[in-house]
Amino acid sequence: MSVDPLAVTLLLGSFVLLLALRVPIALCLALSAVLEAIYLGLPLTLVSQRMVSSLDAFTLLAIPFFILSGEIMSAGGISTRLINLAGLLVGWLRGGLAMINIGASTFFGALSGSSVADVSAIGSVTIPMMKRKGYDADYAVCVTITGAAQAVMIPPSHNLIIYSMAAGGVSIGALFTAGILPGILLGATLMAFAYLIAVKRGYPKETLVPRAEIPRIVLEGLLSLLMPVIVLGGILSGIFTATESAAIACVYAFVLTFGVYRDIPISAMRVILQRTARTLGLVLFIIAAAGAFGYFLTYLRVPALVTDALLDVSTNTVVVLLLINILLLALGAIMDMAPLILITTPILLPVATTLGMDPVQFGIMLLLNLAIGLITPPVGNVLFVGCAIGGISIEKASRALPLFLLPMLVVLLLVTFVPAISLTLPEAFGQ
């Protein structure tokens, strides 16, 4: 089948135009698919069929459970306990509160899988605290939002499940284990960078934790962190599937929050379920609309066109991978993560595999690129939430942000060009 340039232009052009008109992203995808079907003379029922079929996947059942477990843990006072645990580990360093912030974000990311939830739960406590202790507001905000970016890679992350589906069924267990080392590396790099700035600016150390408090802090922190251990351990041992692990995570989060910690009443479940339903509805609508849009991308051979175009620029693997990263960083600055995963995966994954990159490694690279997009203006949801909590303007945070993006870009390059960072653990566990 020959490529119809007008059809490709209509599909992509209408999407960009609708996006520029601030139409919600899911509607942009769906309306572009409808216009394409009309232009090609295909029945509109094809669009609805593709939307429904894109949701007909067993692995998608894990998403509502992981979202619900994250919401329960977010509401149940987990953030304070993780901050206390992080304070015990790194609070004694110069600028210890910044390290506590990043460490708690790393821990919380292993529970929520959401950068927005991460910065909301951790930042609402640590940013005001940092400002009271003399930290610059833009520093506090930038430390918080960059630390929260790890959440999309550290399991359990529903974004990894979305990528698995978009990539044609890449092992969820492999993706979960692949995200651990890059997430830890990112957190450690951000901590080192935050420490250097703290030393230069003379930020204070935190007071030592009384010995009598240490056992309680450790116990409560470890109880909170046991959920991702149960999820990963069950999947890797073959005791249960990713979907079953998500359901078990919900049960554990419920028991821990309402049976052990008891910081909120059981009546709070109504609000938690409402928030979960809103988030889930948005995610599923985006997946459905992206399914129809992706069908027309494949029908018009756009992935093959992009592959040929990038390889025409250069056959050098390093150059092409750098171009892919630049493209993803640019797209991440103007679009949300979930639709970008669904749109770019079928287009760019064939390019990466042609160059010899493993789909698991590409998935981690993709999510790290898009995580950086979450904190980059003009459409950075995590940036907006952090600025709202910190009480500073987007402009002020954006001026300070480039300095904090440097360590993230270093880790991105390492993930891109050192496969062992992503693939060592999956291979060790036979995933």
- Please give the Cα distance from 265 to 402 (Å, whole number): 42
Average pLDDT over residues 227-231: 78
* 12-46 pLDDT per residue, tens: 899 889 888 888 888 888 999 999 999 999 998 99
The pLDDT assigned to 431 comes to 65
Residue 195 has pLDDT above 90, yes or no: no
The pLDDT confidence band at residue 359, using thresholds 50, 70 and 90, is very high
Q: Residue 368 — very low, low, confident or very high, per pLDDT cuts 50/70/90? A: very high
pLDDT digits (tens, 9 = 90+) for 234-286: 777 778 877 788 888 888 888 888 888 888 889 989 998 998 888 888 888 88
C-alpha separations of 375 from 23, 123, 333 in Å? 21, 14, 8
pLDDT of 154 strictly over 70: yes
Token output for 117? 């939830």
**What is the percent of the chain with per-residue pLDDT over 70, rounded to a whole number?**
97
Label residue 66 by pLDDT band (50, 70, 90).
confident
Q: At 340, which amino acid appears?
A: L
CA distance 348 to 16: 18
pLDDT at 423 over 90: yes
**pLDDT for the residue 213:** 83
Q: What pLDDT, on the 0 to 100 scale, is given for residue 100?
A: 81
Mean pLDDT of the chain: 84
* Contact yes or no for 170/360 (Cβ under 8 A): yes
Contact 164, 342 (CB under 8 A): no
CB 302 within 8 A of CB 347: yes
pLDDT more than 90, % of the chain: 16
Look at 232 and 199; give whichever has higher pLDDT.
199
Please check whether residue 122 is in contact with residue 168, taking contact to mean a CB–CB distance below 8 angstroms. no
- Give me the pLDDT at residue 416, please: 95
Which tens digits make up the pLDDT trace of 132-143?
888 888 888 888
- Does residue 325 carry a pLDDT above 90? yes
pLDDT in tens, 155-193: 777 788 889 888 888 888 899 899 889 988 998 898 888
pLDDT at 110: 66
Tens of pLDDT, residues 87-105: 787 777 787 888 888 887 7
pLDDT, residue 112, reads: 66
Average pLDDT over residues 187-215: 84
